[in-house]
Structure 1
Amino acid sequence: MTGMNTIARDPKGYYAILGLAPGADSGAIKSAYRSRVKKVHPDRNASKRAREEFQRVIEAYGVLKDVVRRAEYDTFGQESTHDDDEVVAGAPIACGGCGALTAQPRYVVYHWVRSFLVWAKTGTVEGIFCRVCADRAAVRASTATWAWGWWSLPGLLLAPLALVHNLLGGSKPRHENARLLIRQGRAFLGRGELELARSLALQAGRFARQPDDCARVEDLLHATRDVSDTRRLKTRWRLGGGVFLAQALPLLALPVTIGVFALIAAKPWDQPVATAAAPIAMLPARSGEIRHVAVDNLKVRMAPLAGAPVLTLLDRFTTVEVTADPADPEWVKVRTPSGIDGFVETRSLYAGSGGRFKAQWCAENRGAPPSAGEILTRRVSGDHRLLVHNEGRRDGVVKLKTMAGNTVTAFYVPATYHIGIGGIPEGVYRIEFATGSRYSRGCGIFIEEMQTSVLPVTLTFKYLSAGTIRSLTHIAEISLSPASDDPVQPQPLPADRFAADD
């Protein structure tokens, strides 16, 4: 049944000779023609069959590249053989979307954009439509652009242009629409529907700019001169309606959305206090304030005294909460993230949470990018080896940790690399890893897109006997991005656990 439908829609095989399905757009037709004509051109292929096929390709392209002739071919199964100057009483061309006859057809082109991270692809939804089908085509193109157009730098420029273009009604090429409306008017004139014919002539006059088109409009108006212009059809192609609002409202909301994201990124409520050459003025802490540790290994003491017992140590940038108004300005009572209440020196705390300040410090102390397979940490050495596959798009840092959570070795595996690591000691290890971009040596983390994971298996390295010859053909392997059908899939891991012993 599918073959029969294709033949019915392509009786002369014009689409088939170009290798296209019926209804292909103009871009696909042009591309297919260029590819096909190169293969069968007589300068490259002198056979009789090639010459015949070349003529067929030229004939097919001559019909399909022309908007009006292609519409006639798609509607009636044959293209018009008449010249535009002849008056032909054929059947009206139907809407390419719903197939209904319309007295107000338009050839309209809408644009869409699809992004692929570093580049963007553009295309069109085009055809001869009634107003309802044109609105649907506009929404289809705009929805595709909203969903896929923004995810690249070119897309950030091209997507808004396409959306505004579609919002304003798309492109309606003048010459093609003038010819279409003149042809439609002649068809209704041949059927004796003079009011429709005159209305189409008046609509065509708005598009006609070439002398030939203007002359044909005058001929059609002369043929319908007995019809009063007061009885013309009211145009349905003005902007407005629900479809216009559906496309306009997201565009109006776009600046607001960008502003909100910019505000979140800037975090004006969490800016560090600017200082001049004068000494830093320490503001007294207040109960309920959020502050962060500004020194390494800050001691949390049991009492506000320098010699009081130490409850715990806090790393730099740890966020704490002030739990009471201080009686002594030199000391402040805080609660640590683990829930321990104790006293620290006021001068060791800065205002705000530590996340933003840590990110800034890590970026400033990023250091040189690690090399492929570089050992970042090695606390114990041995004779075993491990092969690591990183087939993802982001760099990785792999840590072998003991069951107690202590890192034995950590190494760097760039994206798409397969790295062999030696010097692993005997033992049983958990495999934790982080992926991301812009690795910071100062913090031991990725500054951007960091994700941390743990493999739900352990690796065991041991000697079978003292005299066993160690074979290099049996090396343990792990993958940071296993196939979906692999039973060993990475599990999410909190970032603080990954860096717990750094």
Structure 2
Amino acid sequence: MTTLTRDPKGYYATLGLRPGADLSAIKSAYRSRVKTVHPDRNASSRAREEFQRLMDAYAVLRDVVRRAEYDTTGQECMDDDEELAEPGSIPISCSCCGSLTAQPRYVVYHTVRSFLVWAKTGRLEGIFCRACADRTAVRASIITWLWGWWSLPGLLLAPLALLRNLFGGSKPKRENGRILIRQGRAFLARGEMEIARSLALQAARFARQPDDRARVEDLMHATRSVTDTRRLKGRWSLGGGVFLAQVLPLLALPLTAAVFALIATKPWDQPVSTSGNIAMRPVNVGEIRHVAIEGLKIRMAPIAGAPVLTLLDRFTTVEVTGDTDTPEWVRIRTPSGVDGYVETRSLYAGSGARFKSQWCAENRGGPPGTGEVLSRRVSGDHRLLVHNEGRRDGVVKLKTLTGHTVASFYVPATYHIGVGGIPEGTYRIEFATGAKYSRGCGVFLDEMQAMVLPVTLTFKYVAPGSARSMTSIAEISLSPAPGDPVQPLALSTERFATDD
């Protein structure tokens, strides 16, 4: 028996589809068509009639069982509560090859396609015979093996999809119970009582709803005269060549993951770490070195307990201006002109920018949340609205006129947030945009640009009895329109990351 491709009621034509379209295409076509034929948007005199016809078509085609009957018989669909042995009932056929099977199953196989930074899940579904189900499972797994691994989400979703396909895909109980009940009724109408009773026994394993259980009981009662207790041979158990074809690549997955981990970590080519102790190396006067630890203390004398002149941030570039009587200490000059002594092991030679970039990436931390306050030194009662209509995430800093950061917060791309807890005072607004924010360094690792607004914001105390209006809340935009008189000015990324 082959599946009919007729469309006597014009259901597929109403949706603008060819007969036999899958469920995803049906849903997509419905969402597109309903916008144009809805009476609220369509002024045609036939709008209500066209809308009702669209709803009738969608009601049949979105239902797995009713669509299968429509595709198989090309006639009006049977109702779930119609007579058990309706004359002329035709069993549901395989939606793939069109052959008649006594044990059809509605099966959903899962696919994953990766697009570098994101992954898209898909479904290959239908009412299958066992042979077509196996072929569809292999097809879904091949798609996932070829296209599912090329993004970080895909690395998580692809193994899950492969395992679900390996163990037979998803078999929704509600739909499969209804299919087996319909199939049993059709064989009962044809007088094939043994097959009808066996299908009723299979349907009992899927039926969970009270109405479905009642229909199974009716079918069991109608076939009570069958004395032969033999059942149909189960064709949906795991095993066979198809199972092995899917499980063997999965067994090799841990080895593949280990290879990728070795390639990613490159243990044979580890760069010098700037977060641990650094071996002492002789220094020469006039040599340029970089600070290897956070909060390096510049002392007045080459002694551990000598008074501290200032502190230096990690990766600060300094100049060696003299040596001492012991190789453990060296005299340096800071970028601000302060001369003092530090331990030689706290400085490293080489490319400061390369080591800093490496350290910032290794200490990136988790991605900040929307509106997350990254730092706050003082709190208050004022609020600020921030609009980031650009395509890159942003970090905003409120700095005093002397350059000290009062608060900093994270504003994702395309978001509009309100920030509270701002104390009274006058502040300069600095912000940076980019991707892959590093908590360890307070900078974006990719495409970072820093800006400063050419205006200041002043927040004043408001008496408790005074009325406050939302319209009086200060607002700033990280990407103002070209005609806006307040345009941000460029700022060096090093200056933005520095907190004086």
Residue 49 (structure 2) aligns with: 52
Q: 1:78 to 1:91 in 2, by over 3 A?
A: same
Residue 486 (structure 1) aligns with: none
1:20 to 17, 22, 28: 17
2:28 to 21, 31, 41: 31
1:79, distance to aligned residue in structure 2 (A) = 3.0
Moved more, 98-107 or 111-120: 111-120
* SS state at 2:48 partner: helix
Q: For 1:277 and 1:177, locate their aligned partners in 2 and report how far apart those are by CA, in whole Å.
A: 66
CA contact (8 A) 1:69 1:79 kept: no
In the alignment, residue 200 of structure 1 is paired with which amino acid?
Answer: L
In the alignment, residue 355 of structure 2 is paired with which amino acid?
Answer: E
1:364 aligns with 2:363: no
CA contact (8 A) 2:180 2:202 kept: yes
1:209 aligns with 2:208: yes
Q: For 2:272 and 2:28, locate their aligned partners in 1 and report how far apart those are by CA, in whole Å.
A: 61
* SS state at 2:229 partner: helix
CA contact (8 A) 2:5 2:19 kept: no
| Superposition TM-score, scaled by structure 1 size | 0.53
In the alignment, residue 105 of structure 2 is paired with which amino acid?
Answer: R
Q: For 1:53 and 1:133, locate their aligned partners in 2 and report how far apart those are by CA, in whole Å.
A: 37
1:41 aligns with 2:38: yes
Residue 195 (structure 1) aligns with: 194
* SS state at 1:102 partner: coil
Residue 235 (structure 1) aligns with: 234
Question: How many residues are paired up?
Answer: 291
1:64 to 57, 61, 71: 61
Q: For 1:264 and 1:38, locate their aligned partners in 2 and report how far apart those are by CA, in whole Å.
A: 50
Deviations 1:362-411 (A, max 9, x none): 842769xxxxxxxxxxxxxxxxxxxxxxxxxxxxxxxxxxxxxxxxxxxx
Residue 167 (structure 2) aligns with: 168
1:49, distance to aligned residue in structure 2 (A) = 2.1
CA contact (8 A) 1:174 1:207 kept: yes
Residue 254 (structure 1) aligns with: 253
| Superposition TM-score, scaled by structure 2 size | 0.53
Deviations 1:78-134 (A, max 9, x none): 232444342224011111111111111001111111111122222111110011101
1:96 aligns with 2:87: no
Q: 1:204 to 1:126 in 2, by over 3 A?
A: same
The answer for unaligned runs of 5 or more in structure 2 is 282-349, 359-435, 437-445, 447-500
In the alignment, residue 231 of structure 2 is paired with which amino acid?
Answer: R
The answer for unaligned runs of 5 or more in structure 1 is 1-5, 281-357, 368-437, 439-447, 449-502
Q: 1:203 to 1:248 in 2, by over 3 A?
A: same
1:63, distance to aligned residue in structure 2 (A) = 1.0
Residue 416 (structure 2) aligns with: none
1:39, distance to aligned residue in structure 2 (A) = 1.2
Q: For 1:197 and 1:279, locate their aligned partners in 2 and report how far apart those are by CA, in whole Å.
A: 86
CA contact (8 A) 2:5 2:71 kept: no
1:268, distance to aligned residue in structure 2 (A) = 4.2
Q: 1:265 to 1:175 in 2, by over 3 A?
A: closer
CA contact (8 A) 2:105 2:171 kept: yes
Residue 426 (structure 2) aligns with: none
Q: For 2:242 and 2:78, locate their aligned partners in 1 and report how far apart those are by CA, in whole Å.
A: 38
Q: 1:102 to 1:365 in 2, by over 3 A?
A: same
Q: 1:272 to 1:170 in 2, by over 3 A?
A: closer
* SS state at 1:110 partner: strand
Residue 76 (structure 1) aligns with: 73
* SS state at 2:99 partner: coil
CA contact (8 A) 1:85 1:216 kept: no
Residue 181 (structure 1) aligns with: 180
* SS state at 1:133 partner: helix
In the alignment, residue 70 of structure 1 is paired with which amino acid?
Answer: R
Q: For 1:210 and 1:273, locate their aligned partners in 2 and report how far apart those are by CA, in whole Å.
A: 64
Q: 1:361 to 1:142 in 2, by over 3 A?
A: farther
* SS state at 1:189 partner: helix
1:9, distance to aligned residue in structure 2 (A) = 2.7
Residue 441 (structure 1) aligns with: none
* SS state at 1:48 partner: coil
* SS state at 1:185 partner: helix
1:44, distance to aligned residue in structure 2 (A) = 2.0
CA contact (8 A) 1:7 1:13 kept: no
Q: For 2:7 and 2:163, locate their aligned partners in 1 and report how far apart those are by CA, in whole Å.
A: 36
In the alignment, residue 63 of structure 2 is paired with which amino acid?
Answer: D
1:278, distance to aligned residue in structure 2 (A) = 7.3
Q: Please give the residue correspondences for 1:317-336 in structure 2 after superposition, counting only pairs within 5 Å.
A: none
CA contact (8 A) 1:70 1:79 kept: no
Residue 110 (structure 1) aligns with: 109
* SS state at 1:213 partner: helix
Moved more, 45-54 or 198-207: 45-54
* SS state at 2:46 partner: helix
Q: For 1:35 and 1:29, locate their aligned partners in 2 and report how far apart those are by CA, in whole Å.
A: 10
Q: Please give the residue correspondences for 1:251-400 in structure 2 after superposition, counting only pairs within 5 Å.
A: 251-268=250-267, 363-364=354-355
Q: For 1:242 and 1:224, locate their aligned partners in 2 and report how far apart those are by CA, in whole Å.
A: 36
Q: For 1:8 and 1:102, locate their aligned partners in 2 and report how far apart those are by CA, in whole Å.
A: 18
Q: 1:273 to 1:229 in 2, by over 3 A?
A: farther
1:11, distance to aligned residue in structure 2 (A) = 2.5
Q: 1:361 to 1:140 in 2, by over 3 A?
A: farther
Q: For 2:228 and 2:212, locate their aligned partners in 1 and report how far apart those are by CA, in whole Å.
A: 20
Q: Which runs of at least 4 in structure 1 moved beyond 6 Å after TM superposition?
A: 272-280
Q: 1:56 to 1:151 in 2, by over 3 A?
A: same
Q: For 1:361 and 1:228, locate their aligned partners in 2 and report how far apart those are by CA, in whole Å.
A: 87
Q: For 1:8 and 1:239, locate their aligned partners in 2 and report how far apart those are by CA, in whole Å.
A: 32
Residue 121 (structure 2) aligns with: 122
Q: 1:270 to 1:158 in 2, by over 3 A?
A: closer
Q: For 1:19 and 1:60, locate their aligned partners in 2 and report how far apart those are by CA, in whole Å.
A: 11
In the alignment, residue 74 of structure 1 is paired with which amino acid?
Answer: D
Q: For 1:209 and 1:108, locate their aligned partners in 2 and report how far apart those are by CA, in whole Å.
A: 18
Q: 1:8 to 1:258 in 2, by over 3 A?
A: closer
In the alignment, residue 49 of structure 1 is paired with which amino acid?
Answer: R
Q: 1:364 to 1:31 in 2, by over 3 A?
A: same
CA contact (8 A) 2:106 2:172 kept: yes
In the alignment, residue 6 of structure 2 is paired with which amino acid?
Answer: R
Q: 1:42 to 1:230 in 2, by over 3 A?
A: same
Q: For 1:100 and 1:256, locate their aligned partners in 2 and report how far apart those are by CA, in whole Å.
A: 41
Q: For 1:264 and 1:35, locate their aligned partners in 2 and report how far apart those are by CA, in whole Å.
A: 46
Alpha-carbon RMSD? 3.3
Q: 1:111 to 1:179 in 2, by over 3 A?
A: same
Q: For 1:254 and 1:83, locate their aligned partners in 2 and report how far apart those are by CA, in whole Å.
A: 45
Deviations 1:410-447 (A, max 9, x none): xxxxxxxxxxxxxxxxxxxxxxxxxxxx9xxxxxxxxx
